[in-house]
Amino acid sequence: MRLLIMGPPGAGKGTQAKGIAEHYGIPAISTGDIFRAISKADAATASPLALEVKEIMNAGKYISDEITNQIVAERLGQADAAQGFLLDGYPRTAGQVAALDQILAESGTQLDAVISLEADQDELVGRLLKRAEIEGRADDNEETIRARQQEYVEKTADLIKLYADRGLLVAVDGLGEIDEVAARIRAGLDRVADR
């Protein structure tokens, strides 16, 4: 399976991505994790692209779509992703969708489905405030959480519509116990596989 997972902050994408990846025997590829690993990479063993990204991150600058696309293409070209993958955190823009389409076309593959975890915004805000309290995240207050939620809606609404128009969207209620949500996702993906 070649999959994407999308959802607002607090919807449980990271948790669900791990379970989906295990279930299908594919790597869960998080661009956030890739960037964090690059920021900690040893300069002696890092690729030229990783060194460029590390320099940009250390300067506190934005990593361009062009570089992000190159990093994703490099990661999807690795052996463990040959039979499938689950992308988390990419694509985030229409330009990245086009780049991913091209990467997949060049490898003779295409996406099987795009999982969209959906959840009531107020429920997610409550979930994130509770997590912030438990983990001592002072920067996670209601105002910043709601701003991130709104940014997600504004940036991804068009992408969700695009994937829905392509018949790839598997919308899933993201609220509930982890196992309940995982079962809903698998049921949605089973319907895709049966097409």
Q: Which residues are catalytic?
A: 13, 92, 131, 137, 148
Neighbours of 71 (CB within 10 A): 21
**Residue carrying structure tokens 């780049």:** 99
Among the listed residues 144, 121, 122, 120, the one whose alpha carbon sits nearest the alpha carbon of residue 132: 144
The two structure tokens encoding residue 103: 């990467």
Neighbours of 190 (CB within 10 A): 10
Helix (H) or strand (E) segment spanning residue 88: strand 85-88
Q: How many residues make up the chain in this entry?
A: 195
Among the listed residues 147, 135, 100, 117, the one whose alpha carbon sits nearest the alpha carbon of residue 15: 117
Q: Order of strands across the sheet with 113-118?
A: 28-30, 85-88, 2-6, 113-118, 169-173
Report the Cα–Cα distance between both ends of the chain, in Å, rounded: 13
